[in-house]
Amino acid sequence: MTIKEQADSLLRSATGRKLKASDSQLQALADSAEGQRVRKMIEGQSGGLQTALESGDMESVRRALSGILQTKEGAQLTEQLKRLIQ
């Protein structure tokens, strides 16, 4: 399954529908200090994450995101996302 197919599947799920309904809150999270720091971490992957996404190397994507989400900022962002979808 490609990353696009996985994303489409997520958006069709109950969780995806909750996320879509919370669009302005998601944007606020993305614009928050934690969101900006996590974005910079993702961008700082030197293209490795983008390459892994494009090639469908989900294990590399998982490892990269897991490391980011284990940071203080990533953990805070994850908790805020969890509250949005509950």
Q: Residues 47-76: what's their mean pLDDT?
A: 86
pLDDT score, position 18: 82
Give the span between the Cα atoms of 39 and 66, in whole angstroms: 14
Q: Quote the number of domains for the chain.
A: 1
Instruction: Give the structural domain span for 78.
Output: 3-85
- Residue 1's pLDDT band (cuts 50, 70, 90): low
Q: Is the pTM of this model over 0.85?
A: no
